[in-house]
Amino acid sequence: MEDRLEILPVTPLIGAEVIGIDLSEPLTNHQKNAIHRAFLKHSVLFFRNQDISVEQQKNFGRSFGELHIHPARDRNGLEGHPEILYLNAGPDTSRVNGDEWHSDVSCDEQPPLGSILRLFEVPSNGGDTLFSSMYAAYDALSKAMKELLGKLSAMHDGGPNYIDRAKRAGIYDPTKVFPANPHPVIRTHPETGRKAIFVNKIFTQYIIDIPKDESRAILDFLFQHIAKPNFQCRFKWEKDSVAFWDNRCALHHAMWDYYPETRRGFRVTIKGDKPC
């Protein structure tokens, strides 16, 4: 079975397309192992022509871990499926999900291992997702900068992002509290052992235990560094494309350049562990 899977890298640093698999079928051990190896090597995998049901998508996710329940699912839920995040952007949308570089729900104490997004409606043009390798971004730093960042932790807070979205959607509830947790600025991937930058524009608010202006300067530097095009690949969606990304070592950015057209899909997210 495994030999029927083809893994075609998109760039040398990040991204690969997987050919020869039908995600509506349960994975064989060979397929699961081959996908897992490719996932660790390429950080994001792409699949085409996967007309799968919500249950099949959840089963695919469960092959790699327990499914995560999103802390802001009340805005993007799908009835009867608490593990599904429904992404639905159209003419009435005032802000789309993931419109800046981020790692999904990095504000959680144990942020997600990975996310699996399938789009079943795509705009006639645009709506790509960009992915950036945080291994490559870390490797490109000077020794001195790696040493400095290796000693720092940063606060990731879901409030500013989720509250802004809830206000725009007219469902703001001031009693709702969102996760906020500190994480190391440089994390070690629990499976590959490689180091990766772990800050992002949507959730990371400040560096802990240093003055505010130093924190701002370091984050501003990191936010421009992680967005350099040489660490990136860009995925052009078709109907029923699936992307499976590793939130521990890759950031992503959903491009909202297709307004007022519609782009819709379901995301399943897999639980992760505490970054260290």
Would you say 70 or 195 has its CB closer to ligand SIN?
A: 70
Q: Does 57 bind ligand SIN (CB under 6 A)?
A: no
Annotated catalytic, 36? Answer: no
Shortest Å distance, C-beta 125 to ligand SIN: 15
Residues 6+ apart with CB under 8 A from 113: 64, 65, 246, 247, 248, 270, 271, 272, 273
Q: Which of 114, 267, 272, 275 binds ligand SIN (CB under 6 A)?
A: 267
Parallel/antiparallel/unpaired status of strands 6-9 and 232-235: unpaired
Residue 199's contacts (CB-CB under 8 Å, 6 or more residues apart) are 154, 185, 219, 222, 223, 226
Q: Which of 34, 45, 67, 117 binds ligand SIN (CB under 6 A)?
A: 117
Strand order in the sheet with 263-270: 6-9, 16-19, 44-47, 241-246, 114-121, 263-270, 84-89
The continuous run of DSSP H or E covering 202 comes out as: none
What is the spatial distance between Cα 141 and Cα 155, in angstroms, rounded to a whole number?
Answer: 22
CA distance 143 to 1: 44
Q: Which of 102, 165, 189, 263 is catalytic?
A: 102
Distance (Å, whole) CA 42 – CA 11: 9
Taking the least distance from each CB to ligand SIN, the nearer of 42 and 195 is 42
Closest contact distance (angstroms) between CB of 242 and ligand SIN is: 11
Q: How far is the CB of 263 from ligand SIN (least distance, A)?
A: 7
Does residue 129 bind ligand SIN (CB under 6 A)?
Answer: yes
Look up 267 and say whether it is catalytic: yes
The window from 96-104, 158-166, 167-175, 222-230 that contacts ligand SIN (CB under 6 A) reads: 96-104
Contact between 254 and ligand SIN per CB under 6 A: yes
Tell me which residues are annotated as active site.
102, 104, 252, 267
The binding site for ligand SIN (CB under 6 A) comprises 87, 97-98, 104, 115, 117, 129, 252, 254, 267
